[in-house]
Amino acid sequence: MTPPLLRVVEREARVFSRLWRGSVFSSLLAPLLFLGAMGVGLGGLVDERNADVAGVTYLEFVAPGLLVASVMQATAGGSLWPVLGGFKWLRTYHGVVATPVPPSALYGGLITWLSIRAAISATAFLLVAAVLGAIPSWEGVAALPVAMLCAAAFAAPFAAFTATQDTDVTFPLVIRIVVMPLFLFSGTFFPTSQLPDGLRPLIVLSPLYHAAELARAATTGHLGWGSLGHAAVLAGCLAAGAWWGRRTFTRRLST
């Protein structure tokens, strides 16, 4: 028997196989352009000044940050509008839960799929970054599961939230107030040591900070016991989001 969750993944994969070309720009080309502009262009300037960015070249520093930041961004996009569409505009989720697939498995399948999709674009990103010399360590392959965990950690609460919404008016706010600040200030483009003293301790509240640290430890070959702590925070976000999402999906689809 195929678990119900995987049957949902199968549907998402089928749609992706038809429409993947449309998402290449946002999920792959855009991060690679960033990598060229910031990692190579801006990075050249940074390295000329002998600025210390965690003891690696700026390109090596920014590549893992960009990886998880763009994973977060793509995941947020994928768990807000399309999910509301499934409830409201296309109503496809109502068709799904009329079958033996329950709302919780639908939810789980969507999160799993967003994680797999992150793995697909992360693979391509990491290959190009490695060619550009941005991945100095073979441990960099571990950045792939990190990208998947990062996607799941964000998709779980975002999709759970979407199930509580009647319209998409709050979504641009979520992007501006949550996603953009995390994207820029989570130790993705510059070390958190550059943050003002008062803000620095707060960085541990950003799941993306933990994802960036974890991915950077992988690509620069510094995975260690500390990495487990970062992974645990992301797993915690996933668990809390999943707890919430099972409830919101069930409430939305079977009342």
Partner 1 sequence: MGLTKRFGGFTAVDGIDIRVEAGETFGFLGPNGAGKTSTMRMIACVSPPSTGTLRVLGLDAAAEGHRIRARLGVVPQDDTLDTELTVWDNMLIYGRYFDLPRPLIKERATELLAFVQLGDRRSSLVDPLSGGMKRRLTIARALINDPELLLLDEPTTGLDPQARHLVWDRLYSLKRRGVTQVLTTHYMDEAEQLCDRLVIMDDGRIVATGSPRELIDAHSTREVVELRFATPEEHDRASAQLHAASERVEELADRLLVYAADGDATAERLTGNGLRPAAVLVRRSTLEDVFLRLTGRSLEEE
List residues binding partner 1 (CB under 8 A).
1-2, 4, 7, 10-11, 14-15, 18-19, 90-102, 253-255
> Sign of torsion, CA 151 154 160 163?
negative
- 234 Cβ partners below 8 Å, 6+ apart? 149, 150, 152, 153, 207, 210, 211, 214
Quick one: 102 or 241, whose CB is closer to partner 1? 102
Closest CB 36 distance from partner 1, rounded Å: 32
Closest CB 114 distance from partner 1, rounded Å: 16
Closest CB 40 distance from partner 1, rounded Å: 37
Closest CB 13 distance from partner 1, rounded Å: 10
* C-alpha span between 215 and 238 (Å, rounded): 17
Quick one: 88 or 222, whose CB is closer to partner 1? 88
3-state secondary structure of 31: helix
Closest CB 175 distance from partner 1, rounded Å: 23
Quick one: 2 or 50, whose CB is closer to partner 1? 2
Quick one: 7 or 222, whose CB is closer to partner 1? 7
* C-alpha span between 107 and 83 (Å, rounded): 10
Which amino acid, one-letter code, is at 36? G
Please check whether residue 69 is in contact with residue 183, taking contact to mean a CB–CB distance below 8 angstroms: yes
Quick one: 194 or 254, whose CB is closer to partner 1? 254
From the DSSP assignment, how many helices (H) and strands (E) are in the chain?
Answer: 12, 0
